[in-house]
């Protein structure tokens, strides 16, 4: 059972009808997460690779879903695996699931790094990954395992840009409301490995890369900042993005100089074409979450409807739009993707908590709404919270303790709100990263 506080979440229901709906929606969520397990997805795609044709196989990777990807690779490759290195935010040492072994890596070295902001571990991880790739020969295979979060977990700034400066830019972008592709366009042009540069380092070595996509539309140049993918963005684009969000005069001078030099040809652009020996494969995405949720809802005798598997836009507006779906008995509406909202304060919370808070005043009796980040960590809070499930009782509890929803939305204090009202979904670090899933029904 992935959800640690399932019983408490079900017991928040005001009546038997809501209780059943809460129970079923949590079952749907757990099933969607189970079917999105990186271990399962990697095993499926590794069977399509003829490993016998390679002398040695090395594994590299980074991301919030990469640890379980590596577990599957190590089990499948066996003696063929020569070694490797991955950079992750937390090690899932015990996630006992069928076929996943004991949850410990033996040949692949694990580097712990910072997320959502990079740290010194992010640099160490990037250097080790680069060294591993360069050590492979022409008759070897490098298997890349990348997922969302790698942009912070694998960092190697260009010369004259310090890690501190890179962190400053990342922090400003995270709080600006910039989209993930806009953020990555900037980060690629401050990196020695992002935006296709890691693929360049492989030379003539065969490099097969598995991606878990948490990006709407599955643009691989955006996932993990596209370390093995051709980059269409430019230094000039990065400058425009920073000016768009009024950050140009807030960023470090070293970053300004780097981007300005690049825009006039004094620095080499990111690769616009990738060698044929590099193969990029998407093994899981928002669609994986949505399809699994649909299948489980159908099994539970509901009439599931996938509203979209490319959910994007303003967090609060998107949530309110879903409430306009034509509800009916036994209907479950499903959406998957990733929204954005501007962080105005340092109060704890995340976009899924913010979405639930925005729809709460409009929620009708007997309706239940759930929003969850598939990696189990929604934003920043004193504890790991993946999202929220709300129903009729949440509004009543808010009134009892005299909480002002409008004010709470403005100051982004959603975590403390739901801590008092109830509804926080706690799974801990799930081990996948395919964006967010939203469920709505009555």
pLDDT at position 99 is: 42
Higher pLDDT pick, 274 / 328: 274
Examine the domain organization and report whether 23 and 83 are in the same domain: no
SS3 state of residue 344: coil
Does the pLDDT of residue 98 top 50, yes or no?
no
Tokens 């979060």 belong to residue? 149
Label residue 327 exposed, middle or buried (CB < 10 Å: 0-12, 13-18, 19+).
Answer: middle
Examine the domain organization and report whether 321 and 428 are in the same domain: yes
Across residues 201-228, what is the average pLDDT?
91
Examine the domain organization and report whether 149 and 114 are in the same domain: yes
Domain total of the chain? 2
Worst-scoring range by mean pLDDT, 95-99, 125-129, 332-336?
A: 95-99
332 phi and psi angles, rounded to 5 deg: -125, 120
CATH number at residue 121: 3.40.50.10180
Domain contains 113: yes
The domain in which residue 87 lies consists of 38-156+191-233+270-284
Does the pLDDT of residue 90 top 80, yes or no?
no
pLDDT at position 128 is: 97
Q: Summarize pLDDT for 331-389 with one digit per residue, the tens.
A: 999 999 999 887 888 889 999 999 999 999 999 888 999 999 999 999 888 899 999 99
DSSP per residue over 404-420, as a string?
-HHHHHHTT-HHHHHHH
Domain contains 180: no
Domain contains 89: yes
Examine the domain organization and report whether 227 and 296 are in the same domain: no
Examine the domain organization and report whether 229 and 317 are in the same domain: no
pLDDT at position 130 is: 96
Does the pLDDT of residue 100 top 50, yes or no?
no
Across residues 142-163, what is the average pLDDT?
94
Domain contains 22: yes
| Contact criterion met (CB below 8 Å) for 184 and 222 | yes
The number of C-alpha atoms within 13 Å of 374 and in the hemisphere containing its C-beta is 39
Q: Summarize pLDDT for 64-84 with one digit per residue, the tens.
A: 899 999 999 999 999 999 999
CATH number at residue 367: 3.40.1480.10
Examine the domain organization and report whether 211 and 224 are in the same domain: yes
DSSP per residue over 36-99, as a string?
T-HHHHHHHHHTTS-GGG-S-EEEEEESTTHHHHHHHHHHHHGGGEEEEEEEESS-------TT
Cα–Cα distance measured from residue 156 to residue 192, given in angstroms and rounded to the nearest whole number? 6
| Contact criterion met (CB below 8 Å) for 323 and 440 | yes
| Strand 108-112 relative to strand 81-88, pairing | parallel
Across residues 206-211, what is the average pLDDT?
97
Cα–Cα distance measured from residue 167 to residue 169, given in angstroms and rounded to the nearest whole number? 5
Examine the domain organization and report whether 196 and 344 are in the same domain: no
Domain contains 240: no
Q: How many CB atoms lie within 10 A of CB 235?
A: 25
Domain contains 110: yes
Does the pLDDT of residue 403 top 50, yes or no?
yes
Cα–Cα distance measured from residue 199 to residue 190, given in angstroms and rounded to the nearest whole number? 16
- Give the chain's mean pLDDT: 91
Examine the domain organization and report whether 64 and 111 are in the same domain: yes
pLDDT at position 271 is: 95
| Contact criterion met (CB below 8 Å) for 19 and 416 | no
- For residue 110, the cross-strand partners are 86
pLDDT at position 380 is: 86
Examine the domain organization and report whether 229 and 356 are in the same domain: no
Examine the domain organization and report whether 93 and 16 are in the same domain: no
Cis peptide before 400 (omega within 30 of 0): no
Examine the domain organization and report whether 276 and 348 are in the same domain: no
Domain contains 244: no
Does the pLDDT of residue 103 top 80, yes or no?
no
Give the N- to C-terminal CA distance of the chain in Å, as an integer: 24
Cα–Cα distance measured from residue 169 to residue 39, given in angstroms and rounded to the nearest whole number? 33
| Contact criterion met (CB below 8 Å) for 311 and 337 | yes
Does the pLDDT of residue 208 top 50, yes or no?
yes
pLDDT at position 92 is: 53
pLDDT at position 217 is: 85
Across residues 197-205, what is the average pLDDT?
94
Q: Summarize pLDDT for 268-288 with one digit per residue, the tens.
A: 999 999 999 999 999 999 999
The number of C-alpha atoms within 13 Å of 140 and in the hemisphere containing its C-beta is 20
Across residues 429-434, what is the average pLDDT?
86
3 phi and psi angles, rounded to 5 deg: -80, 115
Domain contains 184: no
Across residues 313-326, what is the average pLDDT?
88
Across residues 13-38, what is the average pLDDT?
94
pLDDT at position 324 is: 84
- Give the rounded percent of residues in the chain with a pLDDT score beyond 70: 96
SS3 state of residue 429: coil
Q: Summarize pLDDT for 34-49 with one digit per residue, the tens.
A: 999 999 999 999 998 9
Examine the domain organization and report whether 223 and 308 are in the same domain: no
Read off the pLDDT band of 228 (50, 70, 90).
very high
């Amino acid at each position: 059972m992935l959800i640690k506080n399932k019983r408490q979440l079900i017991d928040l229901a005001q009546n038997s009808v809501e209780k059943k709906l809460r129970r079923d929606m949590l079952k749907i969520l757990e099933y969607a997460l189970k079917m999105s397990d990186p271990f399962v997805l990697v095993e499926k795609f590794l069977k399509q690779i003829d490993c016998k044709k390679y002398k040695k196989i090395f594994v590299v990777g980074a991301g919030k879903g990469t640890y379980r990807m590596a577990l599957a690779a190590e089990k499948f490759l066996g003696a063929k695996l020569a070694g490797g290195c991955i950079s992750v935010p937390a090690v899932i040492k015990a996630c006992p699931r069928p076929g996943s072994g004991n949850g410990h890596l033996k040949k692949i070295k694990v580097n712990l790094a910072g997320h959502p902001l990079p740290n010194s571990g992010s640099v160490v991880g990037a250097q080790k990954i680069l060294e591993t790739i360069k050590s492979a020969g022409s008759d070897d295979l490098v298997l890349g395992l990348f997922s969302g979060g790698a942009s912070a977990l694998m960092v190697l700034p260009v010369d004259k840009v310090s890690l501190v400066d890179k962190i400053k830019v990342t922090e400003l972008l995270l709080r600006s409301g910039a989209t993930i592709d806009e953020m990555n366009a900037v980060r690629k042009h401050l990196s020695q490995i992002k935006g296709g540069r890691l693929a360049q380092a492989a030379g003539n070595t065969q490099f097969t890369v598995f991606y878990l996509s948490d990006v709407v539309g599955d643009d691989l140049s955006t996932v993990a900042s596209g370390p093995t993918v051709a980059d269409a963005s430019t230094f000039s684009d990065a400058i425009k993005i920073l000016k768009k969000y009024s950050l140009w005069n807030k960023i470090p001078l070293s970053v300004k100089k780097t981007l300005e030099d690049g825009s006039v040809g004094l620095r080499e652009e990111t690769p616009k074409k990738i060698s044929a020996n590099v193969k990029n494969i998407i093994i899981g995405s928002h669609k994986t979450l949505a399809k699994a949720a649909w299948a489980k809802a159908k099994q539970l005798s509901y009439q599931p409807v996938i509203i979209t598997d490319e959910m994007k836009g303003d967090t609060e507006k998107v949530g309110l739009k879903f409430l306009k779906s034509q509800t009916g008995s036994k209907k479950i509406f499903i959406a998957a993707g990733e929204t954005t909202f501007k962080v105005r304060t340092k109060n704890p919370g995340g976009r899924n908590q913010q979405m639930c808070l925005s729809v709460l005043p409009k929620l009708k009796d007997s309706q239940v709404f759930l929003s969850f980040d598939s990696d189990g960590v929604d934003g920043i809070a004193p504890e790991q919270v993946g999202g929220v499930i709300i129903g009729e009782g949440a509004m009543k509890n808010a009134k009892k303790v005299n909480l002002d929803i409008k004010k709470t939305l403005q100051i982004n204090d959603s975590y403390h709100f739901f801590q008092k009202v109830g509804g926080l979904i706690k799974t801990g670090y799930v081990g996948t990263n395919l964006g967010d899933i939203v469920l709505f029904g009555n």
